[in-house]
Amino acid sequence: MKQLKSNPNNIDETVIGKIVKQTSMFHSKKNCILVTDEAKKQNGYSAIISNKIIDTNVIGVELDELGELNNNDIVTIDADGIINIIHEANSKHNAIFITGRCNSNCIMCPQPPVKEEADRHDLNLKHISLLPKDTISIGITGGEPTLIGNKLFEIIVHIKKSLPKTYINILSNGIRFENIEYARNFAQNINQNTVVDIPLYSDVDTIHNEIVGSKTFNRTIKGIYNLAKFNVKIGIRIVVHKMNYKRLPQLAEYIYFNFPFVYQIAFMQMEPIGNALDNIEKLWIDPIDYNEELENAIKILHYRDLHVSIYNSQLCILSEKMRKFAVKSISEWKNIYVDDCEECILKPDCPGFFASSKDYHSRGIKSIKEIQACV
């Protein structure tokens, strides 16, 4: 999530609210945070974000970059002045962050797990109650969301009640679902708008285990099958790097023959930050150098009628026939384009880059000026 550093004033505990940039007698001030140039009075708002706080009794923060906040964003303000934008009103890629803890430690994880943290459960329930009723989709992510146990079901049920038509995408390593009763309870608390995306990095257990940092390949496979028993929609995610790219076609065959029931499959370009940056020499391969393996894997799945996508990849480094599988999946706040993209006719449809990819991106990046006609 996007974070801003501010100077706190009377913030004793985390405040959550929806951003309002203009005062009005027609909107409720409850659970709202006012953004204003000068904070003179509280006026019933949960907090004030301002360039200058004049009244020392105001609960709020001083922030220079007020333009970073938009109407209807949902933010938390911590006691140390950190503003977390937990829902961007203008974004299609919003998620509820469940926990920073994880029972894996993937070698390329962009957000390495923490050992201790404050309980976020009540804060997340309030987050859900503030979401717009027309929210199309929401993610549930971490860390590993299932580590909060049955509280995860409360989160899901609260979304179902508040936003019954909203698509829910849960990112999980699947390990907890090896427990058949947990998988059963999970299935009883979701609806058909829910998909669980589970990473599978290789068809070889030792390769997968080395990547995730634990001997959990078989537990993940069992978790996938347990969810399938209860008709849960399942996705498979594969982050591609030097340790697993050579066997992408074999992994595609493995997925087809063992999980032909999966709802979706995504091959993902690596985000070079966190653990990935720490292990960059072991992981980095120019994405253009695994195009052959990626193409073969896509064909194996696509021609067998499985729904397959490519995430985080730039269109110019994919062959024309592969571009239709590319999805714009990078959150807006960390999505950039490099200089070579400025005059490219594919830019409006291109997924672009992670901001952290500025120093690690393909040598094949180029500006496409025209599309060759098919003959």
Tens-place pLDDT, residues 220-240: 999 999 999 999 999 999 999
- Which of 178-187, 261-270, 324-333 is predicted with the least confidence, judged by mean pLDDT? 324-333
Radius of gyration for the chain, computed over Cα atoms and rounded to the nearest angstrom: 22
Of the pLDDT bands very low, low, confident and very high (cuts 50, 70, 90), residue 375 is very low
User: Which pLDDT band holds residue 261 (cuts at 50, 70, 90)?
Assistant: very high
**Amino acid 137: pLDDT:** 96
Superfamily grouping for domain 87-358: Aldolase class I (3.20.20.70)
Q: Residue 369: what pLDDT?
A: 87
The residue ranking higher by pLDDT, 39 or 175, is 175
Local confidence band at 30 (pLDDT 50, 70, 90 cut-offs): confident
Query: Does the pLDDT value for residue 22 go beyond 80?
Result: no
184-193 pLDDT, tens digit per residue, is 999 999 999 9
Mean pLDDT over 168-178 rounds to: 98
Tokens representing 203?
């068809």
Of the CATH numbers 3.40.190.10, 3.90.1300.10, 3.30.300.30, 3.50.30.10, which one belongs to the domain with range 2-83?
Answer: 3.50.30.10
241-253 pLDDT, tens digit each: 999 999 999 999 9
Per CATH, 2-83 and 87-358 having the same topology is answered no
Query: Is the predicted pLDDT of residue 71 greater than 70, yes or no?
Result: yes
| Per-residue pLDDT at 42 | 86
Question: Pick from 228, 219, 300, 230: which is nearest to 259 by CA?
Answer: 228
Q: Which sequence spans correspond to the domains of the chain?
A: 2-83, 87-358
Mean confidence (pLDDT) of the chain: 95
Taking CA atoms, 268 is separated from 7, 86, 187, in Å, by 38, 23, 27
| Torsion sign (Cα): 367, 110, 93, 306 | positive
For residue range 201-222, list pLDDT tens digits in order. 999 999 999 999 999 999 999 9
Classify 154 in phi/psi space as left (phi over 0), alpha (psi -120 to 50) or beta. Answer: alpha
Report whether pLDDT(46) > 90. yes
Tokens 């537990």 found at: 219
Three-state SS at 323: helix
CB contact at 8 A, 29 and 45: yes
At 373, the pLDDT band (50, 70, 90 cuts) reads: low
pTM of the model as a whole:
0.93
Band (pLDDT 50/70/90 cuts) for residue 333 is confident
Q: Give residue 332's pLDDT.
A: 87
Q: Which residue has the tokens 């195009």?
A: 291
**pLDDT of res. 151:** 98
Read off the tokens for 48. 């004030």
Confidence grade of residue 370 (pLDDT, cut at 50, 70, 90): confident
**111-157 confidence digits (pLDDT tens):** 999 999 999 999 999 999 999 999 999 999 999 999 999 999 999 99
Whether 363 has a pLDDT exceeding 60, the answer reads yes
For the cut 60, the answer to whether the pLDDT of residue 25 exceeds it is no
pLDDT at 374 over 50: no
Over 70: is that where the pLDDT of 304 sits? yes
Quick one: pLDDT at residue 29?
87
Q: How sure is the predictor about 277, in pLDDT bands with cuts at 50, 70 and 90?
A: very high
